[in-house]
Each structure stands twice: as C-alpha cells, then as structure tokens.
C-alpha cells in the first residue's frame, strides 16, 4: 500500500505529489530518493516527516 505525500521542491518551490511506499518503521531517521517531476532532480525524502532533507539538516 502506498501513501500520497506532498512536499515542496527545494529547487522550484512548487508543491509536488509522489507516492511513498509503506514499509516497516525503522528506528532513527530514514530517507528515500525520488525523481522530482517539477525540476527533474533527485531529492531525498525523510520517511518519518515526508519532507525533503535540506542543506541545513
């Protein structure tokens, strides 16, 4: 089963929708990579929050 998540693309500032596959919850922070349809770049999404990691993290 997949959840639909919406995140803001760090490059364009646009809201982007993608599917996030449900898996077993892991301890600590986990990330998954997604090809962004807004800017065609690869972003890493924090699986706990559904938000892209930023340079400040």
**pLDDT for res 53:** 79
**pLDDT for res 29:** 75
DSSP 8-class letter at 49: T
Residue ranges of domains in the chain: 2-46
**pLDDT for res 1:** 56
Ranges assigned E (strand) in the chain: 2-8, 15-21, 31-35, 42-46
**pLDDT for res 22:** 62
Tell me the whole-structure pTM to 2 decimals.
0.64
Measured over the CA atoms of residue 16, residue 2, residue 27 and residue 32, the dihedral's sign is: negative
Structural contact between residues 39 and 11, judged by C-beta atoms closer than 8 angstroms: yes
Which positions ≥6 away from 35 have C-beta within 8 Å?
41, 42
For residue 55, is pLDDT > 70? Answer: no
List pLDDT tens digits, range 3-49: 788 888 888 999 998 877 666 556 677 888 888 989 999 988 887 77
């Amino acid at each position: 089963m997949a959840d639909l998540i919406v995140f803001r693309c760090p490059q364009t500032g646009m809201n982007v929708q993608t599917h996030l596959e449900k898996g077993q919850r892991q301890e600590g922070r986990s990330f998954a990579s997604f090809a962004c349809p807004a800017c065609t770049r690869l972003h890493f999404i924090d699986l706990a929050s559904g938000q892209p990691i930023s340079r400040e993290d």
